[in-house]
Chains A and B, each alone.
Chain A
């Protein structure tokens, strides 16, 4: 059974998926802030990443050093993370099936 994800955890995992190789903490934060319109604290992002790493859902690595550029800490999805995200998406899809017109009207 894949791990259960909190909302912010889902957002962080989605951000990593979307950013691919460029998933630095800062990029993740910006993406979530832009999408949600809420203030997102970098400390909170790292705390969540720590928790996800502890659950083996993400892994961190370092980018190659390039001229004039420091190596950066970046995050990738572990297989368990993909499973958990897939599970969350399925749950979401099932729960929203047939509700789309009404949900649209709530926005």
Chain B
């Protein structure tokens, strides 16, 4: 059997290290030794590297010295090697101190790299479009909405009338069921105008893009027979088979031919936001022409390509002008104030997280600075301790350059070690971020460690090396030979001047830590106040799942109604289930929009109209959500399509339109329906569009009656409340649905409290990460104070000895040293609070219920730091109090 050989990289590394003279013989020996250790089942790689490095270091100068003809370059390299060897020897003498230096730098570098990895994926990687800066999303707004869909007629208007838009695309997202595969697959889908991919500047990786001919003609109401699918769906459902192009698949029971596959990572702009949980992966063309366009029905998302030279701001003004013109032409009632807006696609996609990430990047920069200051102070301490050695070397002819270089080499070695460790920390931190869920940060799922991230890591390490080697290097430059040699004999005067630099570093470190602590305090207080908001429902103990039926065979309201009723009956019969129901729009899980109403006996002020967010629920849904009916009654199974049309309203709607408190029994007409509905109950307000979002007027209609009056919804979110673990309900509920119809899939199965947690992701992320940074900063600050005081006590032992000899007691010495530490911390705290007062303005927009100058945070941060400083001072203080005057004075 051939003996095992070490990995090529290890061998290559050792080969490079070894001097040419006996390189081959040593390599042979090392290989042999490696093979034997492996044969004996022992760990060999570490052994191999250690032996190789040791041999390289010790075999540089063979016994028979070569003639002294070494070139300057050679001499340089040799002495650099000597510096490295000397550094290693120095490190070995103080492994604890070096470990602290390396660890503190590694924390800084690791945290910075992890943050950069995320920031790169989210902010710096271009969006998956051609020239994304030239893209805008287009929305309309009027009195009822601040930012909503456009109508098909408006799409045509923007194409015809805008001066800044080259072309406008639009789509309508939905969910479809693919059948005829191994199992039914439910995917997000969109009906897109055929120009959509062209406007976005993306071409399929296989097959072809849509053409106008693919879309059904204006008179034909059926769906197109062609589809383009997403890369992920192609891989998942078709195994990445290239022959999928041309294949016919079943979409909601209608057959369609796959004509193209979009590239990996492609998403519609809305898939980063509103549809992030279930992005669209299947697209079918739809044709919008003057023949079929409507002005009144707003249901389309839109994106447009800017004309060359136009900006998003100009487009924003331009689309608003188009709407003004249309209003002037009599197309819209002026009192509705119809308008439009355009938002650049990068802002649209990243608007929410950009401020949080920018804040965290800034915070991590602070942390890296703290780590550098810490490592610098500790390296400086080492340099101070070797002051006499340097003076001696200088006296013996070592140049200042050599001494400075020695310091830089030490800094570089420390930074390399810290960088290596930092990579590991960065990966670990990345995994920790995943715990916040895939939809928490748009595109964070695409995170990869690539060349740029590694370059950042190397850059951060280099900067760290320079920063932390700078203080000792400056010290070496300012070396005072005479004093240096004289000093160390007597230590009575530690020399405040010599300590000034280290004091400054510690104060700076403490100040930065106070900034981070204040910021973290603010974010935590903000999160706390967010979590105390009354949501209006009980998130714990309920499971949610999205369910929708295909349009065949569920083509009538009655068929859908019957199916959902049987599902709910089955779910309610499961053990532990207290209540179950279906809701159209899950609070905090989906956005809800409003519907104009006419309330009997209520006259809206001029220019306004009565409206309410429209929720549709079955009986049992409010109980399953844990929502409260404060007056009147909940819907029951008796509220059917045949019974009297009824509605529930929320407290806000009741007090807005029935200020006399007589909402129950009141009647209103939902726009588009002739029949008035009677209010039978008032529901406590529920936070729906966001934990912080203002509560709007809202009404609830029974599922059966809504389907009868308007159109069947085809699905919704199933909510089931249980006495046990909500997730344990997932399998039984799937079983109930499968038993009724295996072709109906469930999607987005998750506990209600997970839905709420997701809604709080951004504040949770910011406060958790900032809090972690603050803890590390605090730790580093404590290390800095401890290290400095330990050194000072050592330096001042002579003085402390004299003090004790003339009668100072241990307690006085302790208070002397602790006071020193507290003074440093206080100086840092004052400076830090001043910086924080300015810096926290950067997070003002992300705070809820807390002022950026919140007194509690601004008192707590310095207080915590000073308390830490006291603790960190105690050990050196105690050591100082144990100084034996007899011993120290004799030295």
Number of residue pairs spanning A and B whose beta carbons lie under 8 angstroms apart: 63
In the complex, what's the smallest C-beta–C-beta distance from A36 to chain B, in angstroms? 16
In the complex, what's the smallest C-beta–C-beta distance from B48 to chain A, in angstroms? 10
Contact of B59 among A24, A46, A51, A68 (CB under 8 A): A46
Closest chain B residue to A53 by CB distance? Answer: B63
Also in contact, A70 and B25, with CB within 8 A (given A42-B51, A47-B63, A54-B63) = no
Is the Cβ of A24 less than 8 Å from the Cβ of B29? yes
Is the Cβ of A42 less than 8 Å from the Cβ of B57? no
In the complex, what's the smallest C-beta–C-beta distance from A95 to chain B, in angstroms? 29
CB contacts under 8 Å to A, within B30-51, are: 30-33, 36, 51
A9: interface (CB < 8 Å) = no
Give the docked Cα–Cα distance between A73 and B64 (Å).
Answer: 19
Is the Cβ of B63 less than 8 Å from the Cβ of A73? no
Complex contacts, B24 vs chain A, CB 8 Å: 73
Is the Cβ of A43 less than 8 Å from the Cβ of B57? yes
B62: interface (CB < 8 Å) = yes
Is the Cβ of B62 less than 8 Å from the Cβ of A50? yes
Is the Cβ of B55 less than 8 Å from the Cβ of A41? yes
B675: interface (CB < 8 Å) = no
B28: interface (CB < 8 Å) = yes
Is the Cβ of A26 less than 8 Å from the Cβ of B63? no
Instruction: Encode A27-51 as 1/0 by CB contact (under 8 A) with B.
Output: 1011000000000011111110011
A81: interface (CB < 8 Å) = no
In the complex, what's the smallest C-beta–C-beta distance from B284 to chain A, in angstroms? 65
In the complex, what's the smallest C-beta–C-beta distance from B39 to chain A, in angstroms? 11
Is the Cβ of B28 less than 8 Å from the Cβ of A43? no
In the complex, what's the smallest C-beta–C-beta distance from A18 to chain B, in angstroms? 16
Contact of A46 among B2, B31, B36, B55 (CB under 8 A): B55
Query: Interface size class for chain B?
Result: 20 to 34
Contact of B26 among A27, A46, A54 (CB under 8 A): A46
Complex contacts, A25 vs chain B, CB 8 Å: 25-26, 28-29
Give the docked Cα–Cα distance between A44 and B55 (Å).
Answer: 7
**Chain B interface main SS type:** helix
Complex contacts, B63 vs chain A, CB 8 Å: 47, 50-51, 54
Complex contacts, A26 vs chain B, CB 8 Å: 28-33, 36
**Chain A interface main SS type:** helix
B22: interface (CB < 8 Å) = yes
B89: interface (CB < 8 Å) = no
Give the docked Cα–Cα distance between A43 and B55 (Å).
Answer: 4
Give the docked Cα–Cα distance between A43 and B36 (Å).
Answer: 18
Complex contacts, B22 vs chain A, CB 8 Å: 46
Complex contacts, A54 vs chain B, CB 8 Å: 63-64
Closest chain A residue to B2 by CB distance? Answer: A68
Is the Cβ of A47 less than 8 Å from the Cβ of B33? no
Complex contacts, A51 vs chain B, CB 8 Å: 63
Complex contacts, B59 vs chain A, CB 8 Å: 43, 46-47
Complex contacts, B559 vs chain A, CB 8 Å: none
Contact of A73 among B2, B25, B55, B62 (CB under 8 A): B25
Is the Cβ of B55 less than 8 Å from the Cβ of A72? no
Give the docked Cα–Cα distance between A68 and B32 (Å).
Answer: 14
Is the Cβ of B29 less than 8 Å from the Cβ of A29? yes
Complex contacts, B33 vs chain A, CB 8 Å: 26, 29-30, 42
Give the docked Cα–Cα distance between A73 and B32 (Å).
Answer: 12
Give the docked Cα–Cα distance between A68 and B1 (Å).
Answer: 12
B54: interface (CB < 8 Å) = yes
Give the docked Cα–Cα distance between A6 and B568 (Å).
Answer: 91
Is the Cβ of B62 less than 8 Å from the Cβ of A24? no
Complex contacts, A46 vs chain B, CB 8 Å: 22, 25-26, 29, 55, 59
CB pairs A–B below 8 angstroms (17 shown): A24-B28, A25-B25, A26-B31, A26-B32, A26-B36, A30-B36, A42-B30, A43-B26, A43-B58, A43-B59, A46-B25, A46-B26, A50-B62, A54-B64, A70-B28, A73-B25, A73-B28
